[in-house]
Amino acid sequence: MERSDFSLENLKDYVERTNLKGKNFTFLTDLNREELLSLFKVAKILEPFSKTGLKLMEGKELISMFFEPSTRTRMSTETAMNKLGGSVVTEANPLETSSAAKDESLWDTLKVISQYADIMVLRHPNSDRVLQDLPASEVPVISGGYGSITHPTQGLLDLYTVWRAKQDIEGLKVLITSPDLSRARSGHSFALALAQLGAEVVYASPKELPTPDNILEQLKKYGIKVSEHFDVTPEEHDELIMASDIVYLPGCRIPKGGEERELYMEHKDNYYVGLEPLRKAKEEQGKVIGVMHSLPRFEGEFDFGIDDTEHELYFKQVANGIPIRMALITCMIGLA
């Protein structure tokens, strides 16, 4: 694309090419390759306005419903709507302060809220329930995370970050590594997006906590190269890092305490991402390996010294969450 193509004059054209107007955004596979790239071009056009704002969505209302805790997803989506000139109504604890506390069904909740809103963002722990009840909404709904299977806006901003950093995603080798990939919904969404744009996906995890079969089946439909590495040693993990272009850490969604968290902690040292293999790859291969994390992070996952190096991409992911969500809201509501 020429630099001149990324201007407000071209915005409506790219918005229409996403084919998102009036539709829900539930999985990254809702968009094909060309639609994804069009969405990225919308985000790049809006990026300069992620600080200053503009009035694309003036008079429009976003309602935010989060049945689980959230910092980045909720705040960045609400900030995105505010930057677009729209309004936001937030329900951050619906199990206590909405009619859900009185056993109102999710179907009825969605039906009612859609009478007030132009668009909605929803996080819910029960993916089966959400997928069954989404048709009740009369306005488009953005997934803010459903259960352990889908977190498409996280995957979207992750992919946008790689696109902005590397320009071309096709052929990139991406390592997705964790002591528990069975619950890594952000990693799954990211992998599905990578597959659509032709990247190679490499997984590393304990054999007892692998990537779910349904995710692997979806990835293989794209014809990309997918490999799994189980129960690696720290040395083997470093080798996987050095062979990659991007290292992605999906983080830990397991609450403190309990057997599941103990199992995670038992394996975490083998999946540590240190600064040394990144530096070694730069010296020997001349490449800069980007490190990504869906956040929040905790001590023991990776070397925090990466923060101040050229390898850091996780805070850039956070910053990119605003323009990509501005783009998503714009495309789902549409431009007059």
**Residue 313 carries which side chain, given as an amino acid letter?**
L
pLDDT of residue 147: 86
Looking at the structure, give the CATH architecture of the domain made up of residues 3-150+321-333.
3-Layer(aba) Sandwich (3.40)
pLDDT of residue 266: 77
CB 63 within 8 Å of CB 117:
yes
Bond prior to 296 in cis (omega within 30° of 0): yes
Domains 3-150+321-333 and 152-318 share a fold: yes
pLDDT of residue 238: 98
pLDDT of residue 268: 85
pLDDT of residue 259: 67
Beta bridge partners of 293: 249
pLDDT of residue 6: 67
- Which segments in the chain show pLDDT lower than 50? 1-3
pLDDT of residue 78: 97
* The token pair that represents 235 in the structure block: 């040395």
Q: Please, which residues have CB within 8 angstroms of residue 49's CB and are 6 or more apart in sequence?
A: 83, 323, 326
CB 145 within 8 Å of CB 123:
yes
pLDDT of residue 3: 44
* The token pair that represents 89 in the structure block: 């109504």
- Global pTM reads 0.85
CATH of 152-318, one of 3.40.1170.60, 3.40.50.2000, 3.40.50.1370, 2.60.260.20: 3.40.50.1370
Q: Is 309 exposed, middle or buried (0-12, 13-18, 19+ CB in 10 A)?
A: middle
Give the tens place of pLDDT for each residue, 126-145. 999 999 999 999 999 999 99
pLDDT of residue 65: 94
Give the tens place of pLDDT for each residue, 282-295. 999 999 999 999 88
The sign of the CA dihedral 181, 183, 188, 190 is negative
User: Could you tell me the residue ranges of all domains in the chain?
Assistant: 3-150+321-333, 152-318
* The token pair that represents 221 in the structure block: 């439909």
